[in-house]
Homo-oligomer: A and B are copies of this chain.
Amino acid sequence: MVALDLLGRRNALRILWELRSGEPLTFRALQDAAQTNPALLNTRLTELRAAALVVHEGQGYQLSDHGQALLQALHPLADWATTWAASQAPVDQPAD
């Protein structure tokens, strides 16, 4: 899966995830949302734009059609994550 190379890079999925609402985000807004720094954000954005997952239009950065399809394809993963997380940390409060 070639896509894993791209998506496996640090913060790549996070950046796409932060754009999930469909609302365009400015460079700085995206930087804040993804809690990263401009150099990395720019590196990832360059890659994601080259991969046609993100576009930059007047209002800011947003997902392309492919990017939206990708997020759709991530739904089962998100569902799994919920189940898994619940099974993970019964480390809530050690019942004082």
Which residues of A pack against B, CB within 8 Å?
Answer: 1-4, 8-14, 17, 51-52, 66, 69-70, 72-81, 83-85, 87-88
Task: Give the number of times this chain occurs in the complex, counting copies.
Answer: 2
Smallest Cβ distance from A21 to chain B, in angstroms? Answer: 15
Known: A1-B78, A14-B4. A87 touches B73 (CB 8 A): no
Q: Which of B12, B69, B85, B88 contacts A83 (CB 8 A)?
A: B69
**Interchain nearest-CB distance for A6 vs B (Å):** 10
Chain B positions within 8 Å of A3 at CB level = 77, 80-81, 84-85
- Enumerate chain B residues within 8 angstroms of A83, measured Cβ to Cβ: 69
Known: A52-B88, A85-B2, A88-B52. A70 touches B80 (CB 8 A): yes
Complex Cα–Cα for A80 and B75 (A): 12
Q: How far is the CB of A25 from chain B (nearest CB, A)?
A: 18
* CB-nearest residue of chain B to A75: B76
Question: Do A76 and B73 form a contact, CB below 8 Å, given A66-B84, A87-B66, A88-B51?
Answer: yes
